[in-house]
Amino acid sequence: MMKRQRLDRFISNQLNIPRTMAKTQIHRGKVTVDGEIVRDPALNIEAEVSNISYKGEKVNYNEFVYILMNKPKGVLSATEDKNKKTVVDLIPADMKRNNLFPVGRLDKDTTGLLIITDDGDFSHRCISPNKNISKTYIATLDGDLTEEMTEKFKEGVTLQDGTSLKPAKLEIIEKNVAKITITEGKYHQIKRMFGVVDLGVVELKRISIGSLVLPKTLKEGDCIMLNMEDLSMVFK
């Protein structure tokens, strides 16, 4: 059964314009459905099969959008904030639409791979602890790493508040730089994990979720659209 929705909602969502503006444009005859001008905003359409145009330009239907951002430092993983810039603020106009939000979160000073979408089911699958989706980071520390630390992380760290964590993979890249892979997403988890071994995190960058890898050519603050094949990599 085809999913039906109001014409004004469709125009609002796909063009990222306010619902009131969508209604006004429809009343003014700026929207056609299957070649016919429609002036009723409440018209129910089958978005997947209807040929809808706005001011003569075809409006492509995407039920949901999935955006990969290379999150820069100092930006909040949130939809909006009165005083600080959020990741949604950075999305280019041609990618924006209503109801976008980040999947999970990266701390304000953490950089790297962040998925932004309007698909709640996808987000839930990504962040559900039961899915055990791996997330890999590059961490720069304020002291030297040891092989004993890799073994400790492999066994599963107990945080200072008594929280027991699942095993994590710690690879030493340089004496104070590590690649760390976790399957949880607790508050400030990596910083708290290194705190257990008396190390502070100076820089932290997420480079992958599952098998979806941050493109090396994507600059901080820039975005790309993800397709279904890309999304499947998250769960591999």
Contact 206, 106 (CB under 8 A): yes
Contact 167, 153 (CB under 8 A): yes
Contact 178, 145 (CB under 8 A): yes
**65 Cβ partners below 8 Å, 6+ apart?**
95, 97, 100, 117, 118, 225
E-strand ranges in 103-200 read 111-117, 135-141, 169-174, 177-182
Tokens of 175: 């004496």
Please indicate whether residue 230 is annotated as part of the active site. no
Rounded to the nearest 5°, which phi and psi values hold at 147?
-65, -30
Task: Measure the CA–CA gap between 130 and 21, rounded to whole angstroms.
Answer: 42
Active site residue: 8, 40, 89, 107, which one?
Answer: 107
Contact 107, 188 (CB under 8 A): yes
Task: Measure the CA–CA gap between 64 and 148, rounded to whole angstroms.
Answer: 45
Of 168, 223, 222, the residue nearest 192 (C-alpha):
168
Tokens of 1: 């059964």
Hey, which residues are catalytic here?
107
